Amino acid sequence: MNSVLHPDRGGVITRRRTGVVVIITAILAAGLLLPRLRPHTFNGSVMQSNTPAPSAELTSDAGRPLSLTDFRGKIVVVYFGYTFCPDLCPTTLATLDRALERMGEEADQIQVVMITVDPSRDTPEALARYLDSFNPGFVGMTGTPEDVAEVATVYGVYFEADEGTSESGYLVNHTASLVVIDQQGYLKLVLPPLIGVDELVSDLEYLV
């Protein structure tokens, strides 16, 4: 009736409704898109190194020569620890295992490597046994004390033998940060010791 008496009014109302719908749709779309457009905040220090990460040519837990460059194409998470480690190493390795489990199929693109800081006791066999108990996909690396010391130094890791309990013989104090190398072999990220599963998953998923 109105539209007969005021032929233009129906059009105005329709245009207004269309405008309101467009604005609401735009707000909803922005609400959905903005969190995705927000840059990822890493939980560690992001590197912009223009030289590839040191190769670390050592011996694998299978007793074969192995270098970190052999994992090119994967994201490599490097941790320096040892099998007699009472608390920090098992906690970190368990966190890494839970993070990979949470990531599902994406975890196939991640390689966890533990380089021992106790090469005298950590034979390839001991390393393999120890790491298998956390995740059969984890790889261990060892070598002569000199080679291990050199690799640790260039990865910013210090370690020294310390007094321990009679069971362990001695403990090894060591840097417990995680170092992440990207698919192209560049140092990408340094993560703090004892990082949580959520933070780890968030950063690794972003890198994948």
Partner 1 sequence: MIDDTIRDVTERPGTHRRRWTTIVSVIGVLLIAGSLGFKIFEPVQVLPRIRLAPGFIMTDQHGDQITSEDLKGSVVLYTFTYTNCGDPCLAPEPTVAEVRDRMGEVDLGGVDMRFVTVSFDPTRDTPGALAGRADEMGADGDEWIYATPSYQQAKTVIGAGFREWYEPAADDTFSFDPTLVLVDGWGVVRGEYRYQTLTSDVDRIVHHLDILGEEIRNSHGAASLAYEAAHLFLCYP
Would you say 100 or 189 has its CB closer to partner 1? 189
Distance set, CA 108 to CA 10, 18, 90, 141, 149 (Å): 59, 48, 22, 20, 30
Would you say 107 or 157 has its CB closer to partner 1? 157
Contacts 24+ apart (CB under 8 A), 6-10: none
Which of the stretches 28-36, 38-46, 118-126, 131-139 binds partner 1 when contact is defined by CB under 8 A? 38-46
Q: Locate 174 and state its tokens.
A: 């060591």
Number of shown-chain residues binding partner 1 (CB under 8 A): 27
The minimum distance between CB 23 and partner 1, in angstroms, equals 25
Q: Verify binding: residue 175, partner 1, rule CB under 8 A.
A: yes
Do 126 and 83 touch, CB atoms closer than 8 A? yes
Would you say 142 or 177 has its CB closer to partner 1? 177
The minimum distance between CB 146 and partner 1, in angstroms, equals 8
Q: Determine which residue in the list 3, 49, 144, 165 makes contact with partner 1, applying CB under 8 A.
A: 49
Running DSSP on this structure, what letter comes out for residue 44?
S
**Touching partner 1, residues 147-166 (CB under 8 A):** 149-150, 152-160
**Touching partner 1, residues 72-111 (CB under 8 A):** none
Contact residues: partner 1, CB under 8 A: 38-39, 41-42, 44-49, 51, 149-150, 152-160, 175, 177, 179, 187, 190
